[in-house]
């Protein structure tokens, strides 16, 4: 076995060992939107800080407008076009 293969095995073993060390009670919750809150302790959930809503990009509003327009929902399309260009 060459040195590169040995190094790869050592690194992979270290990563596997480090990733499996946390128990559900030891996990922290950084925000209330994270998926790991189901396994977290109740005090970690109550201490989590709320996060801001993500900003919707103009391209998303434009795509929604095109979809509404294709569906014949012109009023909704207009609102989305206005949001895309504001």
Is the CA virtual torsion 59, 83, 63, 52 positive or negative?
Answer: positive
Q: What is the percent of the chain with per-residue pLDDT over 70, rounded to a whole number?
A: 70
Stretch 14-43: mean pLDDT:
61
What is residue 70's predicted lDDT score, i.e. its pLDDT? Answer: 95
Confidence (pTM) = 0.44
* Confidence label for 65 from pLDDT (cuts 50, 70 and 90): very high
Count H helices and E strands in the chain, helices first. 4, 0
Stretch 52-66: mean pLDDT:
92
Stretch 40-69: mean pLDDT:
86
Tell me the DSSP string of 53-67.
PPPPPHHHHHHHHHH
* Confidence label for 77 from pLDDT (cuts 50, 70 and 90): very high
């Amino acid at each position: 076995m060459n040195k590169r293969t040995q190094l790869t095995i050592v690194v992979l073993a270290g990563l596997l060992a480090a990733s499996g060390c946390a128990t559900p009670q030891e996990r922290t919750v950084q925000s209330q939107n994270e998926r790991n809150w189901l396994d977290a302790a109740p005090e970690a959930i109550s201490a989590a800080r709320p996060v801001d809503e993500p900003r919707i990009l103009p391209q998303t509003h434009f795509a929604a407008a095109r979809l509404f327009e294709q569906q014949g929902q012109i009023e909704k399309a207009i609102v989305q076009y206005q949001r895309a260009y504001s």
